[in-house]
Homo-oligomer: A and B are copies of this chain.
Amino acid sequence: MVCGLPGIGSVAWLAVNHLQKELKAELFAEVFSPMFSPKVWLTEDGVVKLMKGEFYFWKNKGGGTDLLLFSANEQPYSPEGQYELADVVLDLGQKFEVRRVVTMGGMATDKFTEQPKVYVGGTDVALVKEIEQYGAVKLAGGAITGTNGLIFGLAKPRKIPAICLLAETPGYLSLDANAAKAALELSCKLFGISMDLHALEKQAKENSEAVQRAKDLSRGAYQHETKKGGDRELPYVS
């Protein structure tokens, strides 16, 4: 099961969204709730859409792992709502007897990088070590706030092995496709599935070029300060 709600850089949301589209996973359940904002959206056709969470199912025709996906168009606005939604997601996960839960997020580093690191936390040491083999860096301390963190954490007392992948993102990008791609590549290795990441790569390249142009413009006037030892620091994460 892969879960990704909007957060810093929309990393998790972009990753799960890409996964759903590429796999053509099917929507099979929706969550409406007062834990979401009191508003509705309209499509281009003038048709109403509620704030909601969505569950998708992908039948792996190759015989490997099937996948459940969960996403939502926002995180619940109240702390209680975030706990409640995390429980709803894990309840459904347990009904489907998911073997592993992967949540994702962005780790704001305040600097752009072409090759974002992906940090990993897990419900036990063995899991963390397994993901380190795929290239992730152990998240040795710090806090993860929000629903992506709670789904991950609340899996532990339920005895569901869970992993949280946090891709480096500068924090000033609202949609960081580069970070989403990095988190997604790791997830795919983990589930043993291959995936066309072309769409994310294209969007990531555009991000990169835009950041470069912005840097060129500001050179001379603004010397970008890189924090020393930034890799070891654990900044705000969502």
Residues on A lying within 8 angstroms of B by beta carbon are 30, 32-35, 37-50, 77-80, 82-84, 120-125, 128, 138-147, 149-150, 152-154, 156-157, 162, 164
**How many copies of this kind of chain does the complex include?**
4
Q: Is the CB of B48 within 8 A of A121?
A: yes
Q: Is the CB of B46 within 8 A of A120?
A: yes
Contact A157 B84, CB 8 Å, known A42-B142, A122-B48, A146-B38: no
CB within 8 A of A47: which of B30, B39, B121, B143?
B121
A50–B122 Cα distance when bound, in Å, is 12
CB within 8 A of A39: which of B40, B80, B146?
B146
Contact A77 B77, CB 8 Å, known A38-B147, A150-B40: no
Closest 3 pairs between A and B when the two form their complex, measured CB to CB: A40-B153, A34-B83, A38-B82
Least CB separation from A162: chain B residue: B48
Given A48-B164, A50-B153, 5 further pairs, Cβ under 8 A: A38-B145, A38-B146, A45-B128, A50-B157, A78-B79
A37–B77 Cα distance when bound, in Å, is 13
Q: Is the CB of B46 within 8 A of A121?
A: yes
A39–B48 Cα distance when bound, in Å, is 32
Nearest CB of B to A86, in Å: 8
Which residues of B lie under 8 Å from residue A124 when comparing CB positions?
Answer: 47
Nearest CB of B to A7, in Å: 12
CB within 8 A of A152: which of B48, B150, B153, B157?
B48
A47–B40 Cα distance when bound, in Å, is 38
